[in-house]
Amino acid sequence: MSSPPRHRIPNANSPELLVRLMELVAQGVRSPRGLTEALGLESRTVRYYVQAALWLGFAEENGELGLTSEGVEYVYAGSGRPRVYARVVRAHPFVRELLGRSGGRMPELDDVTHLVGREEPELAASTVRRRASAVRSLIAPAIGKRVTRSDKDRQLGLPFAPMAPRLVETPRLATGSGEEYDPDVYRYVLGALLDYGELALPQVRALLDHAGAESAPLGGYVDLAVRRGDALRVGDRLVVSPSAISRRDLVESTASILLSDVGYRAWILARLEDGNAPPPRELGRYTRWDRRLFGRDVAPEDLHDELDRVLMDRSLTSFPVARPGEESVLRREGHFIDNWEAEGLIVALPPSLVQLQGGISLVNKVLRQARTGSRVGVPDLAQRATSVHSGLLAPGEALPRSVPDTRSLRVRLLASSPYVAMLTAILLLHRRQSVPVSVTQWHGGWVVRRKRKSIGGYLRVLDAFALSQGWLPCRRRTGGLEPARLLDLLETIGVCTRTGDNIVLAEAFFGQLRREAEEMELAARLEPLVEAMATWIAAVEPVEDL
């Protein structure tokens, strides 16, 4: 912990009141009047405890009263609070000298009085003794506690400098034949469509090339997406269909892709009913699909047993049929937080958000390349959607020349990216304590908890909230941008902070939402979504099975 700034030795003697004050500051109660009313104390007494928080290094003043990283860590440490308190208090130079003189035991009042008098020579003797008594009371909970820092303790204080983004893993597709309807290649295309919500055809080509499928003809996969009803063709773009989102679990396996295909399924059923069924026009394609599904060519008399082996006690009807329908997508231009009340919005979590980990310099490099480059590559932060609300840029938004700083980047991201906005709404509720909700690490994953009960993995919870609002959550169950990666990149740009097993809204950002013009405007636009989230969280049942 860095050395705290010079503050006068406090005249506060209750650790319990100090803790209550820090909890109120964490919730956003920061003005002298607000703290006085919330604590039910005289304003002079409140000043004493503010002074104690500043002196010990739990709080700081930067335009308004706020918590230091140690203060945030303490407030959200749960059962680890005594250990954090002991570590912070015993690291204070004054306390360190006291304990050095006393051999680590509780120092005698006379010893404390001597040091207070040395530090504050202008005080009257009676005042010095009162402050010495107060200091003994404040440090008492830190005496005899273990202060060894775990890796989790250390993490909060680490500087999160911009880092080179580690890209979301891309599979290497084993296709050298140039086959036009390879189901493994199509599964990859569908997965990318569910990740981004919409893709320009040159982006589909770039994604195939990136995955090693350079010889795969683009036309067949575009045709397959439209013919299956997985996408709508809008100009030179494929936009994910509502039906594809509803059956998004099919992308989890190539077998599911094959068994859901309306034409191939009809061919399977025709052969089960009549071993001499007339062959369809797509016989060559379906024969290759047989080999992919069953591992070999299958004679009609063996088809039933082979299908049972592949289905593994499931029925063929458990796989939804992918077929086109009379569908359309809602197009609402503008920022997500200005359109969130519209039913039918498609909301996505694009893997390209990992580029945020490269900081403002990489963001501006990507924007500059998008303005000047003629070659279309894989989707990145400069992706401009027409129908899907997802990343840094809103549908219909002109490509900006640059983003001036990280604060502007945060504001832009929260205004446009639905999953970031929804997660921030939960973190605001956690800060305010208006709803007993938190984002916590539990059994190796990050979950939303209400009181002490898990509601579900936090991205699953956000999916469920999206459905409750009538939106279409376009996100794969597995793959794409993983939950931990999203938290990492949001921590890098200062939206949230990990403290122990909790994710909390970053202290600096929380303060800016209350006092800085740009962030205050964002907070006002975000507030209706926060209120809707509060109502929903208070009543929702666990959503892991949704």
On whether residue 35 sits in a domain, the answer given is yes
Domain holding 292, by residue range, is 183-318
> Residues 367, 496: one domain?
yes
Look at residue 167 and tell me whether its pLDDT is greater than 90. Answer: no
Report the distance separating Cα 332 and Cα 372, nearest Å.
27
Q: 351, 192 in Cβ contact below 8 A?
A: no
Q: Are residues 148 and 238 in the same domain?
A: no
Average pLDDT estimate for 414-433: 96
- CATH number of the domain encompassing residue 123: 1.10.10
In a domain, 172, yes or no: no
Task: Tell me whether residue 167 is in a domain.
Answer: no
- Given a contact cutoff of 8 angstroms between Cβ atoms, the answer to whether 71 and 59 are in contact is yes
Give the Cα-Cα-Cα angle 247, 251, 255 (nearest 5 degrees): 105
* pLDDT value at residue 177: 52
Q: Are residues 193 and 84 in the same domain?
A: no
What are 45-62's pLDDT values in tens digits?
999 999 999 999 999 998
What is the rounded (10 degree) CA torsion for 150, 155, 158, 160? 160
Report the C-alpha gap between 92 and 68 in whole angstroms: 14
Q: Are residues 51 and 128 in the same domain?
A: yes
470 CB-near residues (< 8 Å, 6+ apart): 343, 344, 345
349 with 483, same domain: the answer is yes
**Cα(33)–Cα(38) distance, integer angstroms:** 9
196 and 89 together in one domain: no
Domains contained in the chain, number: 3
Question: Does residue 515 sit within a domain?
Answer: yes
Q: How confident is the model at residue 175 (pLDDT cuts 50, 70, 90)?
A: low
- Tell whether 477 and 345 lie within a shared domain: yes
| Domain annotation covers residue 240 | yes
pLDDT reported for residue 160:
41
The band of 373, judged by pLDDT with boundaries at 50, 70 and 90, is confident
- Could you tell me if residue 439 is inside a domain? yes
The arithmetic mean of pLDDT across residues 524-539, rounded, is: 96
Per-residue pLDDT at 145: 67
Whether 268 and 414 map to the same domain: the answer is: no
Answer yes or no: do 264 and 353 share one domain: no
What is the overall mean pLDDT for the chain? 90
User: How far apart are alpha carbons 122 and 536 in whole angstroms?
Assistant: 57
pLDDT per position as a tens digit, 176-199: 556 789 999 999 999 999 999 999
Where is the domain boundary, 290, 318, 346?
A: 318
Does 36 share its domain with 134? yes
* Strands of the 445-450 sheet, one edge to the other: 453-457, 445-450, 437-442, 502-505, 496-499
pLDDT band at 158 (very low <50, low <70, confident <90, very high): very low
> Do 269 and 396 belong together in one domain?
no
Same domain, 213 and 142: no
At 168, the pLDDT band (50, 70, 90 cuts) reads low
Task: Let me know if residue 171 belongs to a domain.
Answer: no
In this structure, is residue 209 part of a structural domain?
yes
Q: pLDDT at residue 138 above 90?
A: yes
The C-alpha angle 16, 38, 140, rounded to 5 degrees, equals: 10
Pick the last residue of a domain from 318, 353, 368.
318
Question: What are the tens digits of pLDDT across the range 476-496?
Answer: 988 899 999 999 999 999 999
